[in-house]
Each structure stands twice: as C-alpha cells, then as structure tokens.
C-alpha cells in the first residue's frame, strides 16, 4: 500500500516514478510490454470520462529523445519537440481536479476543436490564453470561453495550475525516463494523467490499473506502435 500523506498542493505537484510500469514488470513483463499495457489501459479507462465545469487549456512542447546517432538536438521548436494540448479541470475555488493531454500535429483551430469535442463536455467554461485557435466560431458556440491575459507567472493567472501540471509532466518524461521517442510520448502522458486523476487514492492505483487491463480489449505490441 502507498500512503503519501501529502497536502492538496503537494498532491497536485506529485511526480511519481513509473510505478505502474514497474509493478507490471515485477510480474515478469518486460518494460516495453508493461509500458504499452499501461498506456492502452490508462487511455481506454480515461476515455470514458470528459472534463467539465471550469476547464483550463493550453499548448505545450515536449522534448523527445534524439534517436539519430551523431545528430545533436535542435533547440526551440525543432524536430525533437512534440506538440501537446493540455487541459485541466478546476473546482469553483480554482483547485485542479482532472487532466487530459494529447499529442497533436499542430495547434490549428480544427485540432483544438477536435480535442475539445473528444475530451470536454459541451457547455463547460474553457479558460485559456489569447491564442487565435481558441477564438474559432465552433469553440465559442459549444463552450463559454474566458481569455486569461495575465502573465503565466502572475499570482492572478487562472492558468497557474495548468502550467504546474505541464511542468510536472515534463519532469516525469525527462526526469524519470530521460526523454522518450516521439512515438511513445502519448502512452506516458496517458499514464501521467491516469495517476494524476487518481492521486487521492494512490493505494488503489495498481488495483484499478489491473482492472482496466482486464476490461480492455487485447491489442498486440506491433499493432500498438503501428508496425
């Protein structure tokens, strides 16, 4: 049993080692198989739910591990940067509740609309920055949109918890796994969100993961990575 005894704020900033993957490895599954098992079980389970109420949204860039030998990583928005849409729902008093993250090809309006339709209940209030993709007519029709123009570092920013979650996810990927190939990033973001969304019941996390795996339709490793 895991009993963190953490406060709300520490729970929200919790960056866990890949305990789900390691637990599956302990029952003689290799790391790649365990990782894909966690990824598919986590996303299938969380796909049953949508964020609602107050939902903060933003875009983020995740640095992947360079796989080409002898080639240095590019800085800024180079080829080793993966684009990710991040959404975090909040309580009425601004505390984080649930998170969803999705790797995307771009941050165009159509991509934002598709993410919102899949992961956010219509009629919810979306809080985001002034990025033009959030000003599409469909987003305005389906959701109440609040544009937070405060600096990300400002105490008044309504996106501060969203940025905290993004920072923790980056630390999870870069610190725990020392970077990932772009093709694998979504699986680990799904695992991060799965555990973040269940951070108040850490002692049940593994049992719930096993239950999710049991009700998830089987999928082969090579089919999972598109090979």
Residue scoring higher pLDDT (135 or 29): 135
Rg of the chain, C-alpha, whole Å: 18
Give the residue among 193, 173, 194, 176 at the shortest CA–CA distance from 184: 173
What does the pLDDT read at residue 25? 45
What does the pLDDT read at residue 109? 95
Q: What is the pLDDT of residues 179-204, one digit of tens each?
A: 567 778 888 898 889 889 888 876 76
What does the pLDDT read at residue 2? 34
**pTM for the full model?**
0.71
Domains observed in the chain: 8-63+81-217 (3.30.420.10)
Task: For residue 80, count other CB atoms closer than 10 A to its CB.
Answer: 21
Residue 13: band (very low, low, confident or very high) from pLDDT cuts 50, 70, 90 = very low
What does the pLDDT read at residue 174? 79
Instruction: Tell me the C-alpha distance between 41 and 5, whole Å.
Output: 27
Residue 166: band (very low, low, confident or very high) from pLDDT cuts 50, 70, 90 = very high
Based on the number of CB atoms within 10 Å of its own CB, is 116 exposed (0-12), middle (13-18) or buried (19 or more)? buried
What does the pLDDT read at residue 5? 38
Vertex 76: Cα angle to 18 and 119 (nearest 5): 50
């Amino acid at each position: 049993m895991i009993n963190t005894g953490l406060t709300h704020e520490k729970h929200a900033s919790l960056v866990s080692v890949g305990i789900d993957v390691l637990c599956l490895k302990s029952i003689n599954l290799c790391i790649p198989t365990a990782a894909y098992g966690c990824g598919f079980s986590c996303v299938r389970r969380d796909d049953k739910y949508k964020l609602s109420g107050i939902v903060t949204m933003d875009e983020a860039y995740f640095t992947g591990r360079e796989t080409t030998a002898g080639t240095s990583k590019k800085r800024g928005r180079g080829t080793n940067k993966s684009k990710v849409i991040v959404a975090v729902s909040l309580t009425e008093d601004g505390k984080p509740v649930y998170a969803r993250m999705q790797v995307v090809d771009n941050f165009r309006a159509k991509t934002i609309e598709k993410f919102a339709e899949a992961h956010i209940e219509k009629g919810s209030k979306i809080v985001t920055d002034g990025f033009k993709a959030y000003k599409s007519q469909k987003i305005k029709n389906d959701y109440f949109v609040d544009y937070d123009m405060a600096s990300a570092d400002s105490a008044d920013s309504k996106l501060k918890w969203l940025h905290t979650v993004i920072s923790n996810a980056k630390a999870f990927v870069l610190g725990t796994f020392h970077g990932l190939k772009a093709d694998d990033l979504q699986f680990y973001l799904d695992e991060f969100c799965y555990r973040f969304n269940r951070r108040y019941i850490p002692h049940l996390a593994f049992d719930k993961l096993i239950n999710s795996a049991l009700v998830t339709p089987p999928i082969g490793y090579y089919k999972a990575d598109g090979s």
